[in-house]
Homo-oligomer: A and B are copies of this chain.
Amino acid sequence: MISTLEIEVRSTELDALGHVNNAKYLEYLEWGRFEWVKENGIPLDFFGTSRLSTVLVNTNVNYRREARLGDRLRIRSWLAEMGRSSFRVGQEIINHRDERVADAMITSVMYDTHTRTSVYIPDDLRAKLEPLVRP
């Protein structure tokens, strides 16, 4: 239910202060959410041609520690909450010294790519997601 993606901080992810730039954390978090979708076998094909997709509406990130070149980070992701058409993924980034580097709450809505409007989460997907919720 909680997925963990392990990555290593690369040279081009640092900014002029010598640490990982705040925007790069959002990339790390996106990679973690893709891992969550894959590990849990969620039938969402973000870059494909499927009609049902999701749209990001809010990212709320707490930056707790610097990440530096060569740091090995674990990005943990879980489904924190589900509404009628929206859902929230909780995430945290932990370094190899077991320190919390960041945590985040990411809110998305279910989206119909044909009508280009938000829609209710379909029943079959809801049935699949419900047991994964972990507040």
Interface residues, chain A, CB within 8 Å of chain B? Answer: 10-12, 14-18, 21-24, 26-27, 30-31, 34, 46-47, 55-63, 69
**A11 and B30 within 8 A (CB):** yes
User: In the bound complex, do residue A17 and residue B62 qualify as a contact, i.e. CB atoms below 8 Å apart?
Assistant: no
Number of copies: 4
A14 touches B11 (CB 8 A): no
CB closest residue in chain B, given A57: B63
A31 with B17: CB separation less than 8 A = no
Question: Which chain B positions have C-beta within 8 A of A69?
Answer: 16, 47
- Which residue of B12, B31, B62, B63 contacts A11 across the interface (Cβ within 8 Å)? B31
Smallest CB–CB gap between A29 and chain B, Å? 8
Contacts of A60 in B (CB 8 A): 58-61
